[in-house]
Amino acid sequence: MSIKVMIVDDSAVMREVMQQLLAPQKDIEVIGAVVDPLLAKQRMARQWPDVVLLDVEMPRMDGLTFLRQIMATRPTPVVICSSLTEKGADITLQALAAGAVEVIAKPSMGLKDFLQSHSQTLATAIRQAALARPRVKAPVARTLPSESLASKQLLNQRTTEKIAVIGTSTGGTQALEQVLTLLPVTTAGLAIVQHMPEKFTRAFAERLNSHSQIEIKEAQDGDRLLPGRALIAPGGLHMQIVRSGAQYQVAIKDGPLVSRHRPSVDVLFRSAASQAGRNALGVIMTGMGDDGARGLKALHNSGGSTFAQDEQSCVVFGMPKEAIKLGAVDKTGDLNAIVAALTRWGH
């Protein structure tokens, strides 16, 4: 059976090019391409799609409002098409928090050429979304204690010999929010790869930081891994662990795609294996594909501890499943179990 797709975008060019690009895909069928959510509702009342490709900035009703309505009535995989702007990044993060499973970044100019050069990316995103089980989580509302900032600054003066590395993809933005906002400031230094387009990771880190006791930031080359700090790999660049004496820091580098991704979880995990070994905890979470499986196996073989998110709590059980098949995983559990494992690792 083909994957039935509904395109909702106020750009006629976007709708036309997307339909042209998806037409040759034998396993994907576009059942509608409409200008706004109100028309989409009418179409969807007659035939419900497997995946919705949704613009976030539209007249009459914005995509975010429409997404929330879908998730409240009939949770369905939604792929967000968002502009590469600061405003677009903020709205996209809200959409991911509201239940969207994937994001495709579109430039403000040269749209047709961009989409044609990324046709396989579009088709892959739809296939991945079709396998997802969207989960709607209540937004995290945490009032940080007044000493939080001081605690973050104090911990940044210390160092640690233990670190943790996390890799995730589809469904990971929600999962990371649930995990990171529960971690205490005594948590071991964290390095995280979340598959996300460039220019979105900084806004993602800032959003998480505002809700968390630990410091969360987009990583810069040379940043140190410290207790109470989480570094998120910038979109479009690889992140590696580098040891300097008793301290760990990250190197941010360009380079070819690894396991079809940049940043790649495999790159992060392999560097943790070579630089930290038994002093590292590796956690692989929800996501499509196998990025991170071989890297986690290398970390496991080097004496590091390894943990995988369980199938029941994953939006997509691809990455953890592949790691388990390789024999790379010591333990599995849900998001609460991951919080507990990371908290214990810091002591």
What are the pLDDT digits (tens) for 208-235? 999 999 999 999 999 999 999 999 999 9
Tell me the average pLDDT of the chain. Answer: 89
Strands 238-244 and 247-253: antiparallel
Do both 123 and 159 map to the same domain?
A: no
123 and 153 fall within a common domain: no
Whether residues 339 and 302 share a domain: the answer is yes
Is there a single domain that holds both residue 100 and residue 191? no
Of 97, 131, 165, the residue at which a domain comes to its end is 131
Domain limits for position 184: 148-345
Side chain identity at 308, as an amino acid letter?
A
Q: Let me know whether 63 and 180 are in one domain.
A: no
Pair 225, 231: CB distance under 8 Å: yes
- Pair (190, 87) in one structural domain: no
Q: Which residues are catalytic?
A: 169, 195, 291
How many helices (H) and strands (E) in the chain? Answer: 13, 14
CATH number for position 87: 3.40.50.2300
CA distance 31 to 29: 6
In-domain check, residue 141 = no
Share of the chain above pLDDT 90, in %: 71
User: Tens digits of per-residue pLDDT, 69-88?
Assistant: 999 999 999 999 877 566 66
pLDDT for res 137:
58
CA 31/CA 23 separation, integer angstroms: 11
Amino acid 110: pLDDT: 66
Shared domain check, 298 and 327: yes
- Do 95 and 232 have their domain in common? no
CA distance 164 to 216: 14
What is d(CA 15, CA 17) in angstroms, rounded to the nearest whole number? 6
Alpha-carbon separation of residue 135 from 129, 192, 278, 329 (angstroms):
12, 22, 34, 25
Phi first, then psi, for residue 299 (nearest 5°) are -65, -40
Task: Kindly state whether residues 50 and 100 are assigned to the same domain.
Answer: yes
231 belongs to a structural domain: yes
Quote the number of domains for the chain.
Answer: 2
Beta strands in the chain (DSSP E): 3-8, 28-34, 51-55, 78-83, 102-106, 163-168, 189-194, 215-218, 229-232, 238-244, 247-253, 280-284, 305-309, 331-333
pTM above 0.85, yes or no: yes
Question: In this predicted model, what pLDDT tens digit does every residue of 124-158 receive, in sequence order?
Answer: 889 989 999 887 654 444 444 444 444 455 444 45
| Structural domain ending residue among the three candidates 131, 158, 175 | 131
Answer yes or no: do 247 and 330 share one domain: yes
